[in-house]
Amino acid sequence: MVLKLPPLLVTDRLQRVLDIAQDSSGVNALVVVSMDNIRWLTGFTGSTALLLVKNNDSVLIVDGRYTQQAIDQIRLSGASARVVEARTQSLQIGQLSRELAGVKACGFDSSEITMLNFETIAAECSCSFVTVNGVVQQLRRIKTDAEVARMQLAAHATDRALSEVQLMLENAMTLEISERDVRDELEYKMRRFGADGPSYETIVATGVNSVKPHHRPTDTIIREGDAVVIDVGGLVDGYHSDMTRTYLIGQVLPELAAIHDLVLNAQREGVSAVRPGVTGASIDEVCRSIITQAGYGSDFIHGTGHGVGLQIHEMPWVRTDFIEPLQCGEVVTVEPGVYRVGVGGVRIEDLILVTATSSRTLTLSQKESLCLPSRQTI
């Protein structure tokens, strides 16, 4: 049965983002080139476009490949924007210049445009350009029910896929299973359970590779005594999920088992700390202090988490330098890890929705007692 997702409506977003840019910087237009931001503002999912946001007269400039798609998607999303076709980059910039006639100051986000492209646009347009960074990204932090529904389905697909792949790990001793084998099966199963595909490059790291947080799967065979770190996410209609579990295969070093227990405890406490008003830095400190007090602080080598949505890494951040409070509707990860060379690596991660008073975990795969029995003698 195909699950019917609620529509992604963007009805008032163009005006909201322009109002914020006007209030903060005094501009009377905003040019947007990031495709994630254009998608969030208009519903358009093509690979290239220019969006000019103006009071009651926003325009999406696309090439001929996307004209009808843009018209259809804007109509369905409720965005109040015209679609204009311009088939080459020079024609698109020329169209942008004409649309900016009469505009005194246009805002742009310097983080989403190269210097070359900015200089090309600025040379063609008579208005002044003002740096207005992060406006759309800030608004994107709060997810609507329709956005959460897509992330929940992506998380559910990965949960189901991982539960089936666990059987592979239990038989790894007899089947000569490699990291790539696990990756391939996970991505196949995710699609079968409703995901459009993987959210990012699936990480499967075993043995000595488990101490590398972003290891890419190889032909390395899973062996007795290994930790197997699996970091997997699904993609549904542009929205991501993110989850990590660490499995211990057969008889492992006592220190490795202790590290798993330690990371699990830190991760549980971090998840419990997620609620509105709490900063990303304070959640990071909850996890980091537990790991540091146990003597593994130097082996926790990354931040505790990040926001997830149209991008797999986006605001807000769960790390030492992010002091903005979490808000209801944000979705973040909590993913402490310990990576000790010569012993092994462990990371445990969940995807968490911040609710009105607390939080809700979207990834539900088992994370306790993941020491799988060796079936080498079967």
Asked if the structure places residue 377 within a domain, the reply is no
Q: Cα separations (Å) of 166 from 203, 230, 249, 329, 348?
A: 15, 11, 11, 32, 16
* pLDDT at residue 374 in the model: 57
Closest listed residue to residue 301, CA positions, set 286, 291, 315, 314: 291
- The number of distinct structural domains making up the chain is 2
113 and 186 housed in the same domain: no
- Each of the 378 residues of the chain gets a pLDDT tens digit; together they read 457 899 999 999 999 999 999 999 999 999 999 999 999 999 999 999 999 999 999 999 999 999 999 999 999 999 999 999 999 999 999 999 999 999 999 999 999 999 999 999 999 999 999 999 999 999 999 999 999 999 999 999 999 999 999 988 988 878 899 999 999 999 999 999 999 999 999 999 999 999 999 999 999 999 999 999 999 999 999 999 999 999 999 999 999 999 999 999 999 999 999 999 999 999 999 999 999 999 999 999 999 999 999 999 999 999 999 999 999 999 999 999 999 999 999 999 999 999 999 999 999 999 986 777 755 433
Asked if the structure places residue 6 within a domain, the reply is no
Q: Final residue of a domain: which of 106, 124, 140?
A: 140
297 and 312 housed in the same domain: yes
* pLDDT at residue 173 in the model: 75
134 and 200 housed in the same domain: no
33 and 73 housed in the same domain: yes
70 and 100 housed in the same domain: yes
250 and 346 housed in the same domain: yes
167 and 124 housed in the same domain: no
Quote the distance between the C-alpha of residue 226 and its chain's center. 28
Asked if the structure places residue 107 within a domain, the reply is yes
33 and 65 housed in the same domain: yes
Asked if the structure places residue 245 within a domain, the reply is yes
Asked if the structure places residue 5 within a domain, the reply is no
Strand 350-354 to 234-236 pairing: unpaired
- Beta-carbon count within 10 A of 269 CB: 16
Burial annotation 48-81 (CB, 10 A radius, 16+ → b, else e): ebbbbbbeeebbbbbbeebbeebbebbeebebeb
Asked if the structure places residue 128 within a domain, the reply is yes
Cα–Cα dist 194/172, whole Å? 27
154 and 89 housed in the same domain: no
* Residue 245 CA neighbour count, 13 Å, CB half: 24
Closest listed residue to residue 264, CA positions, set 363, 335, 364, 332: 335
Q: Final residue of a domain: which of 114, 140, 166?
A: 140
What CATH number should be reported for the domain holding residue 76? Answer: 3.40.350.10
The one-letter amino acid code at 225 reads G
Element (H, E) at 208: none
291 and 172 housed in the same domain: yes
Q: Which domain holds residue 255?
A: 145-372
Question: Is the model's pTM score more than 0.85?
Answer: yes
Asked if the structure places residue 163 within a domain, the reply is yes
- Beta-carbon count within 10 A of 264 CB: 18
- Beta-carbon count within 10 A of 122 CB: 15
363 and 244 housed in the same domain: yes
Asked if the structure places residue 2 within a domain, the reply is no
Residue 172: partners with Cβ closer than 8 Å, 6 or more residues away: 221, 222, 223, 249
3-state secondary structure of 182: helix
3-state secondary structure of 234: strand
Burial annotation 241-262 (CB, 10 A radius, 16+ → b, else e): bbbbbbbbbbebeeebbbbbeb
* pLDDT at residue 2 in the model: 56
What CATH number should be reported for the domain holding residue 165? Answer: 3.90.230.10
Q: Final residue of a domain: which of 107, 140, 173?
A: 140
253 and 314 housed in the same domain: yes
